[in-house]
Amino acid sequence: MLASLTSPLPALMAFSWPPEAYLWFKTLHIVGVVVWFAGLFYLVRLFIYHREAEELEPALKTAFQDQYALMERRLANIITTPGMVVAVVCAAGLLSVNPAWLKQGWMHAKLAFVAALLAYHWFCYRVMGQLQKGSCTWSPKRLRALNELPTLLLVIVVMLVVFKNQFPTGAATWFIVALVVFMAASIQFYARWRRLRAERLAAEAAAG
């Protein structure tokens, strides 16, 4: 009797979530995921602009790179990381309301891909730190290729959460994979075409 009055444990064990808690966690989880990904996609785009500014004349280069550095820090700390925290905290809420998900294969696969995404998030912070110190060696081309990774992880994780243990391996899946590869390749080709055109125009202008 005395133990149940002094220890909070029985009260905690008796705690049960209100019926709508699961749907609230899911709503906020999805909102967090959207914000997190918007931040991740734009952050690496800013890294590309930051590196491309190397080509500018010294005064412009400093002004542009300082501005990109500020935008990167604000985007990472005010949008991307808070989005990640909301997504992960609400995911923990979903699992605490329904711990049975943790026994399912699709959830184990999802957690493995989310771990890769968290590693990517950490890696972006590392590149951002190098850019701020002026010691980043990643070329714009490599950064553009890197920016395809979260797209791939997004497609896989969303497919896992929608199809769960019936993950499809048929024609539709291969069509989606081909579409993602095609989009990634188009972005790389377009960037290359733009760079070659800028070089040609500069050469023509120099030749008078």
User: Contact with ligand HEM (CB under 6 A): which of 46, 76, 136, 154?
Assistant: 154
| Amino acid letter, residue 90 | C
**Shortest approach of ligand HEM to residue 167 CB, angstroms?**
14
User: Contact with ligand HEM (CB under 6 A): which of 91, 128, 131, 143?
Assistant: 91
Tell me which DSSP letter residue 56 carries.
S
According to the binding rule CB under 6 A, does residue 121 interact with ligand HEM?
no
Residue 35 or 94 having the CB closest to ligand HEM: 94
Are 78 and 139 in contact by the 8 Å Cβ rule? The answer is no
Are 87 and 29 in contact by the 8 Å Cβ rule? The answer is yes
CA distance 62 to 56: 9
What six digits make up the tokens of 36? 């997190």
Query: Angle between the 105-133 and 81-97 helix axes, to the nearest 10 degrees?
Result: 160
According to the binding rule CB under 6 A, does residue 143 interact with ligand HEM?
no
Tell me how crowded residue 109 is: count the other CB atoms within 10 A of its CB.
16
Q: Please count the residues of this chain forming the interface with ligand HEM, following the rule CB under 6 A.
A: 17
According to the binding rule CB under 6 A, does residue 33 interact with ligand HEM?
yes
According to the binding rule CB under 6 A, does residue 201 interact with ligand HEM?
no
CA distance 178 to 127: 29
User: Contact with ligand HEM (CB under 6 A): which of 161, 184, 187, 191?
Assistant: 161
The stretch among 22-30, 68-76, 185-193, 197-205 that binds ligand HEM (CB under 6 A) is 22-30
Give the residues lining the site for ligand HEM (CB under 6 A).
26, 29-30, 33, 87-88, 91, 94-95, 101, 114, 117, 154, 157-158, 161-162
